[in-house]
Amino acid sequence: MTDQRPDSATKAGADAVNPAGASVSGLSAIGSMPVDVEGRSIFAADELAIVLSHYRIGLIDTIKQFKRGSRKAPKLVIRSDRGLFLLKRRAHGRDDPFKVAFTHGIQLRLAERGYPLPRLIGTRRENNSMVQYQGQVYELFEFVRGSGYDRSAEATINAGATLARFHGLLADYKPHHTPPKGTYHGAPVVISSITTLPGALLKPASGEPNVNEAQAKEIADELDHCYREAADRADVLDLLGWPVQIGHSDWHPGNMLFDGHEVVAVIDYDSARLLPRVIDVANGALQFSIQGKGDDTERWPEQVDEARYRAFFEGYASVQGGKLNPAEREVVPWLMIQALIAESVIPVAATGLFGQLSGADFLRMVLRKVRWIHEHAELLTGLADV
């Protein structure tokens, strides 16, 4: 494996003032970006040749498409005589060079301290953490093999501990680039999405609506009430007055690779931002304890898996400084409600669907879970006391 890793992300940020990138300016345009038969964005041959020429990865043996993550962000697994690598082109909307440099700074900081994540590979000429070409941003990482979350208590404990390590390593980190702010707590975008829900449910992007106007309004009204009440409960505890630090802001099993029960890599730092740490913790506790799978959302359990829920907090508290204080524990259920609603209503408001699932049916399931969390807030607060 090559040991050429960026010294810092500051070079990438500095080069961002030149949209073409200092090392590739003056080259011909790629033209429109191609897609495969599935509508997934892919690399053009000349684009790939130009981008790879900026890395020292040795003799290439194979290049294969990696069909995971956003369809708008093409990825390739590259095998060479120096190891395995993952090349990624940033999707539009997530390709601002300064924001990319901010996330790279976080990853480099974590890598220096032995945190489990795919290491960034620096460019051959200036050891930059990204390549910029014709308005596009590219990253190259070492490829980390791993499996998915097995829902065991051991893996859940490890996920909680890994989040606590993330917070601990970045508690005093001062980024070179301005970090984003804003979270799922009291977010205007969530309120506005709820407002547009009835129209989306009555005119889904595909299929026929399975609600009438009164039912669509009823769903939206209850979601609005639950979201606002949960936000108010958190505000009473002065959540926004608590200390902030860099958080991951998207802590869920899909952003982790495991080897057995151990986390071997945390991925996707695009949502990183300033926040009170408990916002990360509450979302992680939700994501690692929520129950439900399959297309029949009516059969999804309303309750969280209490054993996994507690295990997540056990893992977080096992790291020095990871034990939550009483106010943090008390706010967790109200943040869980907001996180669950925010994650659900924004995509449904856009298409009337949640993935391929009926938006109305999915939101009814969400409301059942929200009611359960609300009714068991005291229980959840107690389970977080480890």
Structural domain spans, the chain: 10-142, 153-383
CB-CB neighbours of 263 under 10 Å: 22
pLDDT above 50 (res 343): yes
Q: In terms of DSSP bridges, do strands 273-275 and 245-247 run parallel, antiparallel, or are they unpaired? A: antiparallel
- Could you tell me the CA-to-CA distances from 329 to 11, 80, 150, 313, 377 in Å, in that order? 41, 48, 26, 10, 10
For 173, the 3-state DSSP assignment is coil
Q: Which two tokens stand for residue 232?
A: 């108010």
Q: If 0-12 CB within 10 Å is exposed, 13-18 middle and 19+ buried, where does residue 378 land? A: exposed
Please determine, for residue 242, whether its predicted confidence score (pLDDT) is greater than 70: yes
> How high is the pLDDT of residue 31?
46
In whole angstroms, give the CA distance from residue 241 to residue 104.
28
User: Quick one: pLDDT band at residue 37, thresholds 50, 70, 90?
Assistant: confident
CATH homologous superfamily of 10-142? Phosphorylase Kinase; domain 1 (3.30.200.20)
Q: Is the pLDDT of residue 156 over 70?
A: yes
User: Which CATH number applies to 153-383?
Assistant: 3.90.1200.10
Question: Is a pLDDT exceeding 70 seen at residue 288?
Answer: yes
- pTM for the structure as a whole: 0.91
Percent of the chain past pLDDT 90, that is, above it, reads 87
